[in-house]
């Protein structure tokens, strides 16, 4: 791992159950598992899954806030935290593999396209955070 935060390739690999030797990667892998469960559960169980997801998002954001270098004075504010972005990446990864398993052409194309776009956006954000050109909401990285 070259930087503070994992690359998009490392995150996507962790979302598919691959190596997760970083706290952010472990959380991303767990978020994907929770989203996979959420697709098949209903009622009270979904609320419990969402509670677990919220805890993982919070844990990611706390880790990032503790380890991210301070942003420069003129850094632009990003609209989401890293935890929120990784939760959406995990959701899209779970949906993309579900669409692949079900061989649903339109869903498959749409899911993979959205996953790829968000993964690129995540990596761009990591680059900007590392350079101090971007800051996160809630005081993360200030």
How does pLDDT run across 47-99, given as a tens digit for each residue? 999 999 999 999 999 999 999 888 888 899 999 999 999 999 999 999 988 87
Determine phi and psi for 79, rounding to 5 degrees. -85, -20
Taking the C-alpha atoms of residue 47 and residue 40, their distance in angstroms, rounded to an integer, is 13
- Residue 139 pLDDT: 58
Residue 109's nearest CA partner among 128, 125, 96 is 96
Residue 57's nearest CA partner among 23, 86, 92, 83 is 83
- Residue 140 pLDDT: 55
What count of Cα atoms within 13 Å lies in the side-chain half-sphere of residue 24?
Answer: 28
Residue 107, pLDDT > 80, answer no
What count of Cα atoms within 13 Å lies in the side-chain half-sphere of residue 116?
Answer: 6
**pLDDT, tens only, 108-133:** 788 889 999 999 999 999 999 988 89
The model carries a pTM of: 0.89
Q: Contact 5/129 with Cβ under 8 angstroms?
A: yes
Residue 101, pLDDT > 80, answer no
- Residue 1 pLDDT: 40
Mean per-residue pLDDT, 20-39: 94
């Amino acid at each position: 791992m070259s930087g503070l935060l994992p690359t998009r390739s490392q995150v996507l690999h962790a979302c598919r159950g691959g190596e997760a030797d970083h706290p952010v990667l472990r959380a991303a892998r767990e978020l994907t598992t929770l989203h996979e469960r959420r697709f098949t559960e209903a009622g009270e169980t979904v609320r419990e899954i969402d509670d677990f997801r919220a805890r993982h998002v919070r844990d990611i954001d706390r880790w990032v806030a503790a380890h991210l270098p301070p942003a420069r004075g003129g850094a632009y504010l990003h609209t989401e935290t890293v935890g929120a972005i990784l939760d959406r990446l995990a959701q899209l990864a779970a949906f993309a593999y579900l669409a692949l398993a079900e061989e649903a052409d339109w869903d498959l194309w749409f899911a993979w396209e959205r996953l790829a776009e968000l993964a690129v956006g995540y990596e761009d954000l990591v680059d900007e955070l590392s350079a101090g050109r971007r800051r996160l909401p809630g005081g993360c990285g200030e």
